[in-house]
Amino acid sequence: MKKNVIVGQSGGPTAVINASLYGVVHEALDRSDVCGTVYGMINGIEGFLNDQIMDMEPLKQSGELELIRTTPGSYLGSCRYKLPEDLEDEVYPKLFEKFKQYGIGYFFYIGGNDSMDTVSKLSRYARKTGSDIRFMGIPKTIDNDLVRTDHTPGFGSAAKYVASTVREIAVDASVYDNKKSVTIVEIMGRHAGWLTAASVLARKFEGDNPVLIYLPETAFDPDRFISDVNEALEKAPNLVVGISVGLNDGKGTFICELASDVGVDTFGHKMLTGSGKYLENLVKEKIGVKVRSVELNVSQRCSSAMLSATDQKEAVESGAYGVKCALEGETGKMIGFARVPGEEYRVDYVAEDVDLICNQEKTVPLEWITGNGSDIGQEFIDYAQPLIQGSVKVPEKDGLPLFAYRK
């Protein structure tokens, strides 16, 4: 007997989260021998609770599904809805009653750490109640902080955007090379500095900008920072510095908290911004050279202009592999990437226990951070470069990218 499929997206958008959606939907529609209707959740699990779903098959018939593959953002919409820790909460039987109502046998959730928490809770409740629904997580995060996977879809394209943008900023800053200046580039990364570390890929030669790079994995000392900047300005009159938004003193205080009040989101995470501006003012006060801060902000999350072909390909394949695993009986798993040793870059897809992934965080290895906390080593470059390779031709109309959107 055929069982219906449902897929949702959660958390922040990326350049390739829709490519994973394409992978899930395309594979499920191709397996019409065992899969019935393929539904999409509008605004994730929160929308599903309000019966906000759509049939995905018409998108294949209209050609919209192919367009989704190169569309950034979250086509189905997203949410930041946290399921209760207590599996006795009334929301769980309500959800499973809705699964029964729609004939759901296969559930796929595309997202990061908090999304894997949702998959874990639903699969544990299913085990507890004897439900045979299969729950699978498809990884997504530009933060690259999911454990038990070499990397995550979304990171490669975001890293390519960061490296390209920082290289362009460095070119811009070098125009007035007869006067000293400092440009501070603030990059996303609360506790894991993978994306900021990618700014090292912008260098064209040894000693090139960004000369200094600071990650949240090491304690940040403002006085040492000023000393580093003064020393670097002796060699590079136009200095570019890459920093993570989550820079902290190693004792729990974020640098940006020294400048402004910080709110929290629904998961209790501090909403960080202002680290670059704080350091801009510090350089202005302590050194007195021309200084500005640039906050990449949301533009680094899902730029279609900087799609990595490798990233997009793996996003599609991980979505499709998740469907194959579910149809083979897997549940409570997330699709992980295992890098195959050798000179040529290649990954194998593996189903990892989602209970061992959710609420964990993978940070940049300390041995990859050099320069007494102000630089990135060759190990990271070797790790990251394969992930940004290749470009993707995005369809255009009237000279602008053509994106899919829900009517």
In the chain, where the domains are located: 3-141+304-356+391-401, 155-300
- Whether 377 shows a pLDDT value over 70: the answer reads yes
Same fold, 3-141+304-356+391-401 and 155-300: yes
What topology is assigned to 3-141+304-356+391-401 in CATH?
A: Rossmann fold (3.40.50)
How far apart CA 240 and CA 128 sit, in angstroms, is 54
Using an 8 Å Cβ cutoff, are 23 and 152 in contact?
no
Question: pLDDT per residue over 239-273, tens digit each?
Answer: 999 999 999 999 989 998 876 544 455 555 554 55
CA atoms of 36 and 158, how far apart (whole Å): 35
Q: What is the pLDDT of residues 177-195, one digit of tens each?
A: 889 999 999 999 999 999 9
pLDDT tens figures, 101-125? 999 999 999 999 999 999 999 999 9
Give CA–CA dist 380/20, Å, rounded. Answer: 25
Percent of the chain at pLDDT exceeding 90 = 93
Outline where 250-358 has alpha helix (H).
275-286, 309-327
Which CATH code fits 155-300? 3.40.50.460
- Dump pLDDT digits (tens) for 313-335: 999 999 999 999 999 999 999 99
| Candidate list 86, 89, 132, 143, residue with the active-site label | 143
Residue 262 is predicted with a pLDDT of 44
Q: Does residue 54 carry a pLDDT above 50?
A: yes
pLDDT of residue 268: 54
Report the candidate in 392, 395, 394 with the shortest Cα–Cα distance to residue 313: 392
Mean pLDDT of 95-104: 98
| pTM of this structure | 0.95
Mean local confidence (pLDDT), 306-315: 97
Least confident stretch, 15-19, 236-240, 258-262: 258-262
208 in active site = no
Q: What is the pLDDT of residue 261?
A: 47
Average pLDDT, the chain: 95
Overall size of the chain counted in residues? 407
Give the pLDDT confidence of 279-291 residue by residue, as tens digits. Answer: 999 999 999 999 9
Cα separation, 350 vs 94, whole angstroms: 31
What is the rounded average pLDDT of the residues 30-41? 98
Whether 344 has a pLDDT exceeding 90, the answer reads yes
pLDDT given for residue 284 in this prediction: 95
CA 11 to each of CA 26, 260, 370: distance values in angstroms, whole numbers, following the listed order: 22, 25, 32
